[in-house]
Structure 1
Amino acid sequence: ASPQTDVPVEDDAVHVIKVEYLENGPLFSELKFYQRAAKQEQIRKWMSLKKIRCLGIPVFWGSGLTEYKGKSYRFMVMERLGEDLQRIFEDSGSRFKKETVLQLGARMLDTLEYIHENEYVHGDIKAANLLLGYANPHEVYLADYGLSYRYCPNGNHKQYQENPRKGHNGTIEFTSIDAHKGVAPSRRGDLEILGYCMLQWLCGKLPWEQNLKDPVAVQTAKTKVKNVAGKRRFCFKSSEIAKFLACVYGLAYDEKPKYQVLKKILLDGLESSGARYDGPLEFSAAARTRDHCAAKVSKVSKTQSCWTCCEMSVPSYLCLETPRMQKPRFCL
């Protein structure tokens, strides 16, 4: 490594070094994840088993300790990656095409299944932690395992236990309902976070984003979505994310998700759109029409009607049935 920290990385560099103070906890947690669960031979076997060409976990090359100007540091040598999705999302008008959202969701689902099978959860899935490949920008990688958690050490799943003192950890707009309650991360939490990410990428924003400074209000909003998920009526053609979240909400804390069922939901949406799981990722600005927001009112009983919240820029790929005179604060 060079002491010239202000010198830009050369275009042909294939490695990068992540450096933090020795006492930094997240980098230590990330290092342990790579050493235990992300050996390249493990990943190659998994890819062969699942018949996929890219798993989406960055290549870890090594680590070490060093000193600089009297201070101790830990470092990791990693594969160089490209742009993060958060920057691309903002440059695309804060909205991705439906096909791109489903591609990203299906690929991340494969990545999470591998992580979960190796006793870990990620805990902080978001666009800022998703990076495109440097050599191949049509590949996407889940990075930053500083909040990764070994939920099932030696095959023993952690017990469900709420702890208000640890509540609301993670990135507040995406964090799971369990995390709001201070419960240790689990597989269903990772999938719930992924669902919220897909929802934001498709919609442009989440229904609770105006309350991010109030974690309790965000938790309440997410809980309301969960509570009505089983009563929904699909009345918009883009129901895949709604179905995905409904399946995730139905999982028990320690239940193994049916990854292939969840993936099929997303793949069916891709097929109906004429897109492919491993097709090129297209990030051109999404059409700013009301197609994603236009309501298609379903046939409901005389005492019910279907409301939408286009004024919140939330698309009605799912409309929730409510009593006619009781308009919900938000719907999806």
Structure 2
Amino acid sequence: MPPKGKARGPAKRKLAEEFPVGEVLTDTAKKRWKLGAPVGQGGFGLLYLANEDSSAAVGTNAPYVIKVEPSDNGPLFSELKFYMRAAKPDLIHSWIKSHKLKYLGVPKYWGSGLHEKAGKRYRFMVMDRFGTDLQKMFEESGKKFPRKLVLQLGLRLLDILEYVHEHEYVHADIKASNLLLSYKDPNQVYLVDYGLAYRYSPEGVLKEYKEDPKRCHDGTIEFTSIDAHKGVSPSRRADLEILGYCMIQWLCGRLPWEDKLQDPIYVRDSKIKCRDNISEFLLCFPAENKPEEMVKFMEQVKLLGYTDKPAYQKLRGILEAGLKSIGTADDNKLDFSVSVNGSGPSPAKKATKRKKTEVNGDSDETDLIPTKRKQAPKKRVVKRVQKKASPKKRLVEMATQTSPAVVTKRGRGRPKKNA
């Protein structure tokens, strides 16, 4: 059973021991691969730079990575099933050509096998090497992406999901940390980690809707589908629902239920409430800048039945219309700069600063004025008050000692004589 929440597997699973640089692994096709330095960790496996075996060392520019896990761990085994059935290079190339795509963000499967070391067995898989993940980019961007970028990521993911779905699988764990930029081309994004991938239509036979209390809340809690919260197996509509949550988080900065992720029932009920009132779901957007394409996208997902095939082209049209509404189009360039279309973090931050200035202006206005300029008026005011106060005081004193008719130039000397 897939793990609940953010956990990627039961605690009893062990992380693979680190192999030395230069270790050679032989896949099932008898092809030899040489390991370089470890570059990361995925689930309960380690990732190594790799290259085809040769006398040369594996350099930092190696084009492949190899994922290694203890053979009795489940995630890589499940992932391998997907890659072997649906991610062979010839299948992907054929799809790209027939659908007239520039590329498809599904990692290619280059080989796999078992490796023994010190009496232990390990499973490994060879994949393309990738660059940074979108979660890191999201955090570096102040947890908000430009609207144009979000809509383009949505278009790329629709391409990926249509391919995955047409090959009998659903991904079930779409999120920024599972989206990696190409190592060679930063304008290309790939959906990785198929450890929770589910074969919803083996041999073309669709799985039926069935709730299982033992499987409630599977996946990554903030993004997982309402079906998953009820213990229902993943479906195509679930993948699109998860994509919708991701896009809204990238646009807004956070989802309405992120403050209580430790309470899966609360998260589930919040998602149901938002599904029933999608406009309320999008209250994080100012009324004048509400992305209507997201309302339409989520409405389309809401209409899907558990076994329905999504209208991918219609969903693409919705996102493309969103791009047009902000005066741009899909140019196949992923621009993470914060000022794109005035909808990224930078404008939000500027607006916040302006707002703070206005609020603080009443209570702390001196902070906005240079020191010399703010002191001068105070001195002048004090002097004016002193000049006015002195005659007034004398007039009051004189009024008690002489008649009003004599309060003139002559009157100034009289108090001295009386004193």
TM-score class, shorter-chain normalisation, is 0.7 to 0.9
2:243 is the alignment partner of 1:194: yes
Equivalent positions of 1:142-161 (< 5 A) are 142-161=191-210
In the other structure, the counterpart of 1:16 is: 65
Q: CA deviation at 1:273?
A: 2.8
In the other structure, the counterpart of 2:257 is: 208
Contact 1:230–1:246 (CA under 8 A) maintained in structure 2? no
The more displaced of 238-247 and 134-143 is 238-247
In the other structure, the counterpart of 2:46 is: none
TM-score normalised to structure 2 length = 0.66
In the other structure, the counterpart of 1:89 is: 138
Q: CA deviation at 1:240?
A: 1.1
Percent of pairs with identical residues: 55
Q: Which of 221, 234, 239 is residue 292 of structure 2 equivalent to?
A: 239
Q: CA deviation at 1:56?
A: 0.2
Cα deviation 1:219-266 (Å, max 9, x = unaligned): 000000111238999974411112111100110000000000001101
Q: Which of 222, 231, 236 is residue 173 of structure 1 equivalent to?
A: 222
Cα deviation 1:89-143 (Å, max 9, x = unaligned): 0011111000000000110011000100110000000000000000001100000
Which letter maps to 2:210? Q
Q: CA deviation at 1:38?
A: 1.5
2:288 is the alignment partner of 1:258: no
Which letter maps to 1:134? Y
Distance 1:54 1:256, change over 3 A: same
- What secondary structure is seen at the aligned counterpart in 1 of 2:277? helix
Distance 1:267 1:122 in 2: 24
Contact 1:107–1:277 (CA under 8 A) maintained in structure 2? no
In the other structure, the counterpart of 2:83 is: 34
- What secondary structure is seen at the aligned counterpart in 1 of 2:345? coil
Distance 1:277 1:70 in 2: 53
In the other structure, the counterpart of 1:269 is: 322
Higher RCO, 1 vs 2 (CA within 8 Å, ≥6 residues apart): 1
- What secondary structure is seen at the aligned counterpart in 1 of 2:91? helix
In the other structure, the counterpart of 1:249 is: 302
2:124 is the alignment partner of 1:124: no
Q: CA deviation at 1:275?
A: 3.4
Q: Which of 15, 20, 25 is residue 3 of structure 1 equivalent to?
A: 20
The more displaced of 244-253 and 266-275 is 266-275
Distance 1:250 1:107, change over 3 A: same
In the other structure, the counterpart of 1:308 is: none
Distance 2:335 2:302 in 1: 30
Q: Which of 43, 47, 57 is residue 96 of structure 2 equivalent to?
A: 47
In the other structure, the counterpart of 1:25 is: 74
Q: CA deviation at 1:178?
A: 0.2
Distance 1:46 1:130, change over 3 A: same
Aligned-CA RMSD value: 2.4
Q: Which of 258, 282, 287 is residue 345 of structure 2 equivalent to?
A: 287
TM-score normalised to structure 1 length = 0.83
2:111 is the alignment partner of 1:65: no
Which letter maps to 1:287? P
Contact 2:279–2:295 (CA under 8 A) maintained in structure 1? no
Distance 1:7 1:255 in 2: 42
In the other structure, the counterpart of 2:406 is: none
Contact 1:120–1:149 (CA under 8 A) maintained in structure 2? yes
Q: CA deviation at 1:39?
A: 1.8
Structure 2 segments unaligned to the other structure (5+ residues): 1-17, 22-35, 40-48, 50-58, 339-343, 353-419
The more displaced of 232-241 and 99-108 is 232-241
Kindly indicate which of the two structures has a greater share of residues assigned to helix: 2
Distance 1:205 1:264, change over 3 A: same
> For this pair of structures, how many residues does the alignment match?
294
Equivalent positions of 1:292-307 (< 5 A) are none
Cα deviation 1:249-299 (Å, max 9, x = unaligned): 1100000000000011011112333433342111123234459x99xxxxx
Distance 1:160 1:102 in 2: 31
**Structure 1 consecutive aligned stretches of length 4 or more whose deviation exceeds 2 Å:** 4-11, 229-237, 271-279, 284-291
Which letter maps to 1:202? L
Q: CA deviation at 1:204?
A: 0.5
In the other structure, the counterpart of 2:54 is: none
Cα deviation 1:60-116 (Å, max 9, x = unaligned): 110010012221100001100000000110011111000000000110011000100
Which letter maps to 1:144? D
- What secondary structure is seen at the aligned counterpart in 2 of 1:86? helix
Distance 1:7 1:146, change over 3 A: closer
Structure 1 segments unaligned to the other structure (5+ residues): 295-332
